[in-house]
């Protein structure tokens, strides 16, 4: 489906989805590398923080792609599926935001700050 200016919305949506997936993958790999190169017990919170940050960034892109999909909805079934997917992504995003706050709070209040964080 073409949008304003001849932009292919399906291709744009897929590109945005791919960028979101790359964010999640990149941050997850960075967390794994941090655990492999350092003592896993000492840097577990830092790795969890990296994964949570990547998930939030990736979910922002995926939410944008999901919103672009609304332009292509034609039936009530498609609309219902869209609402379910969007709600699920919102819940997951809220969970990761909560996890991120907990990790940052633990890093500031604990005996040692999380590595690489103020």
pLDDT digits (tens, 9 = 90+) for 72-107: 778 888 888 888 988 888 898 899 889 888 888 887
Domain count, the chain: 1
pLDDT in tens, 6-62: 567 788 889 999 999 999 999 999 989 888 887 766 678 788 888 888 988 898 888
Is residue 115 in a domain? no
Domain that holds residue 49: 4-109
pLDDT of residue 29: 94
Is residue 47 in a domain? yes
The three-class DSSP label of residue 83 is helix
Separation between Cα atoms, residue 58 and residue 27, nearest integer Å: 9
Q: Which tokens belong to 20? A: 């979101």
Is residue 70 in a domain? yes
């Amino acid at each position: 489906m073409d949008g304003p200016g001849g932009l292919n919305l399906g291709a744009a949506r897929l590109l945005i989805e791919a960028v979101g997936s790359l964010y999640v993958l990149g941050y997850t790999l960075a967390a794994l590398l941090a655990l492999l190169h350092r003592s896993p017990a000492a840097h577990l919170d830092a790795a969890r923080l990296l994964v949570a940050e990547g998930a939030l960034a990736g979910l922002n892109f995926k939410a944008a792609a999901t919103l672009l999909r609304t332009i292509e909805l034609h039936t009530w079934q498609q609309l219902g599926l869209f609402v379910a997917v969007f709600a699920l992504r919102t819940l997951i995003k809220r969970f990761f935001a909560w996890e991120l706050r907990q990790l940052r709070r633990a890093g500031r209040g604990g005996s040692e700050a999380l590595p690489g964080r103020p």
